[in-house]
Amino acid sequence: MTDREPQALDILDDAGRKLLFTQARTANTFAATAVADDELVKIWELARWSPSAANGQPLRVLFVRTREGKERLVQHLDEGNKAKTLSAPAVAVLAYDADFHEQMPTVFPARGDMLRAAFAGQTEKRESIAAYNSALQTGVFLLAVRAAGLAAGPMAGFDEAGVDKEFFAGTSWRSHLVVNIGHPGPDPWFPRLPRVPVEDAVAWA
pLDDT at 47 over 70: yes
Range of the domain at 55: 33-184
Task: Give 2's pLDDT tier (boundaries 50, 70, 90).
Answer: low
Quote the mean pLDDT of the chain: 97
Residue 54 domain flag: yes
Our count of domains for the chain comes to: 1
pTM of the entire predicted model: 0.94
What DSSP designation does 191 have?
P
Each as own residue / partner, the long-range contacts of residues 117-126 (CB below 8 Å, 24 or more positions apart, any chain) are: 123/98, 126/98, 126/99, 126/100, 126/101
Residue 75 domain flag: yes
CATH at residue 137: 3.40.109.10
Residue 81 domain flag: yes
Residue 137 domain flag: yes
177-198 pLDDT tens trace: 999 999 999 999 999 999 999 9
Residue 162 domain flag: yes
What is the Cα gyration radius of the chain?
19
How many C-beta atoms surround the C-beta of residue 29 within 10 A? 18
Residue 15 domain flag: no
Mean of pLDDT values over 59-73: 99
